[in-house]
Amino acid sequence: MLENVRRERRVRAIAFPQMTLVRPVVIDGVGLHSGSPVHMVLHPAEADRGVVFRRTDLVSQGREVSDIRATYDNVVNTMLSTEIGNAAGATVSTVEHLMSALSTLGIDNVLVEIDGSEVPVLDGSSEIFIDRIEAVGIEKLDAPRKAIRIVKPVVVEDGAKRAALLPGEGFRLAFEIDFDNPVIGRQSIEADLHDPFFAEDILRARTFCLRRDIEAMWAAGLAKGGSLDNAVVVDNDHVMNEDGLRYEDEFVRHKVLDAVGDLALSGMALIGRYEGSRAGHAMNNRVLRALMADPSAYEVVDFAEARPSAPMQRDLAIPAD
């Protein structure tokens, strides 16, 4: 009892403590690309654990096989999703929507038990992850939260594709897309990850594709679980989904959602600015790897320095001290 009181006092003394879940969160669904049913449980985890995926279908072979840390250097594939893996060859794909939700909510430590190789796609956005997590609440841990401050520009380019991480306050993202399609066309947006409405404005945006590309994806063994229930499908000059779009520029908003999830694989909050132009999962991972490969481009600081004058992102269900 006395130790619990002391712990609560220590946590209160930390301006920005690390966070985890109050209770487990159970999520069932299908994989967007595999089409397979998936059972996933998000468990609270201790400070400095980070986000770890555990393949429960492989757990009998040991943690060196079943456990995969959600970090940028464990990304093994970026074809239409972000896939992470470990040295034993175990993988989990389509982690970006869940990672985006965790990053936006400021959750640092989670054990993700999953019985297959792909995170459930749900409705194609991060909204359901956000709702399920907020329903159980978020708990403070007895450890300070750290952040990576970008101190000099890091830019990667590949033809017309560009991704950059730049110095700045807080964390802002700017994205531009340009599709040869009359519905999508050219769209751009800028958003602040610490804006209290970021989840409503960005994380509800669904993944999307052009109908003309679906057969090629199927031939490549992808999008087997895709449907109008979990993706926006554009057929020439119209949206096939009966309810239409959630936002007029839902397409570029989803690209920002993806970028937040991909950049969350840094393992800490970022302080600075991200700019993406026609970028995708591959470019997001490349720019993060370039940043981390140059120790002169960043410094690790207290998270308090990430948001010098900003309020908390959202009113979260955090238990009272």
For tokens 């908003």, what's the residue? 253
Question: Roughly how many angstroms between the first and final C-alpha of the chain, as a whole number?
Answer: 14
Active-site annotation holds for 281: yes
Q: Which among 33, 194, 254, 281 is annotated as catalytic? A: 281
Q: Render the burial of 171-192: b for 16+ CB within 10 Å, e for the rest.
A: bbbbbbbebeeebbeebebebb
| Full strand arrangement of the beta sheet holding 67-69 | 25-30, 37-44, 110-114, 51-55, 67-69
Q: Sheet with 91-92: list strands edge to edge.
A: 75-77, 83-85, 91-92
Structure tokens at 258: 């993806």
Of 274, 64, 314, the C-alpha closest to 150 is 274
> CB–CB of 149/305 below 8 Å?
yes
Positions annotated as catalytic residues are 281
